[in-house]
């Protein structure tokens, strides 16, 4: 049995310990906001937070997150803003993504938003070099210029 929390909900699942967290989320829990991109941690589309840290779920066996607190894109706003009735429905990163019209096809953006959120948690004032080093997510549409602009808007704010 695998035991962990996803977006504040406790789960106890009968799945193989080596099943990647990505497929537990998508195929067992129906949490499809986390995306399958490459299966080998090369693209970052599957990024979730495990105990607050960016983790590529496609190569993370579920046994590695035993007892952990997992946040997916669906639960990010609640994790960041809390569950009070008047809590904003979007995080400031998500709002910046709308303000700067960052996503195109959007498929990589769940992972991108999770990675950027973690980056800003650890480094509230990242330089361009920090951004380059920390964000290796692939976006085939080419949203990266706007990702940088949106992050800069959060840094200077």
Partner 1 sequence: MTISRRRFLLSTAVIGGGLLIGYAATRPSRHRVANETLAHNGQRFLTTWLRIDPDNRVTVYVPHSEMGQGVHTSLAMMAADELDADWELVTAEQAPATDLFANGDLITGFASEFGLPSFLQPILAASSVKISQLVNLQTTGGSSSVRFTGEHGMRNAGAAAREMLIACAADRWGVPAEQCHTQLSHVHHNASGRSLAYGELAAAAAELEPPENPRLKQPQEFTIMGKAMSRADIPPKVNGSAQYGIDAYSDDMLFAAIRIAPVFGARLVSVDASEALGRRGVQRVIELEDSVAVVADNYWRAKEALKLVKAEFEQTENDHVSSADIWAQFDSDLAAGDGKKDKEVGDTKTAMSEASDIIEASYRVPYLAHAPMEPMNCTVHFHDGRADVWTSTQDNLGIRGRVASVGGLDENDVMMHPVYLGGGFGRRLPFNWNMIDHATLIAKQFEVPVKTIFSREDDMQQDYYRPAVASNFRASFDTNGNVSAWENRFTGPIQTPGAAHIPYAIGNQSIRVVDSETHVPIAAWRSVDHSQQTFFTESFIDEVAHRAGRNPYQFRLELLSEHPRHRRVLEVAAEGAGYGQNLPDGHAMGIAVQESFGSIVAEIAEVSIDENGQPRVHRVTCAIDCGRAVNPDTVEQQVESGILFGLSAALYGEITIENGAVVQANFPDYNSVRMAQTPEIQIHIIESGEALGGLGEPATPPIAAAVANAAYILTGQRIRELPFKNHDLSRSTPVAQR
Residues that bind partner 1 (CB under 8 A): 9-13, 16, 19-20, 23, 26-40, 42-43, 45, 72-74, 76-77, 89-90, 94, 97-98, 101-110, 113, 131-133, 135-148
Report the residue number, 54 or 72, with the smaller CB distance to partner 1: 72
| Nearest distance, CB of residue 1 and partner 1, angstroms | 9
- Measured from the Cβ of residue 90, the count of other Cβ atoms closer than 10 Å reads 15
| Nearest distance, CB of residue 76 and partner 1, angstroms | 7
Q: Phi/psi at 5 (nearest 5 deg)?
A: -110, 140
Report the residue number, 13 or 51, with the smaller CB distance to partner 1: 13
Report the residue number, 51 or 133, with the smaller CB distance to partner 1: 133
| Nearest distance, CB of residue 121 and partner 1, angstroms | 17
Contacts of 65 (CB under 8 A, 6+ apart): 2, 4, 21, 50, 55
The secondary structure of 95-156, three-state, reads HHHHHCCCCCCCCCHHHHHHHHHHHHHHCCCCCHHHHHHHCCCCCCCCCHHHHHHHHHHHHH
| Nearest distance, CB of residue 84 and partner 1, angstroms | 18
Q: Phi/psi at 38 (nearest 5 deg)?
A: -135, -25
Report the residue number, 52 or 78, with the smaller CB distance to partner 1: 78
| Nearest distance, CB of residue 123 and partner 1, angstroms | 14
∠ at Cα 121 (98, 115), nearest 5°? Answer: 55
């Amino acid at each position: 049995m695998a035991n962990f929390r996803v977006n504040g909900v406790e789960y106890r699942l009968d799945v193989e310990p080596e099943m990647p967290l990505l497929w537990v989320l998508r195929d067992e829990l129906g949490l499809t906001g986390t995306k399958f991109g490459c299966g080998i941690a090369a693209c970052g589309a599957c990024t979730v937070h495990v105990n607050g840290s960016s983790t590529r779920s496609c190569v993370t066996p579920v046994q590695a997150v035993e007892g952990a607190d997992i946040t997916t894109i669906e639960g990010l706003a609640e994790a960041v803003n809390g569950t009070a009735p008047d809590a904003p429905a979007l995080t400031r990163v998500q709002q910046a993504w709308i303000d700067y019209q960052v996503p195109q096809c959007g498929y990589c953006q769940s992972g991108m938003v999770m990675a950027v959120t973690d980056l800003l948690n650890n480094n509230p004032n990242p330089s361009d070099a920090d951004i380059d080093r920390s964000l290796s997510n692939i976006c085939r549409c080419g949203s990266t210029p706007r990702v940088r602009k949106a992050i800069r808007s959060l840094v200077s704010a």
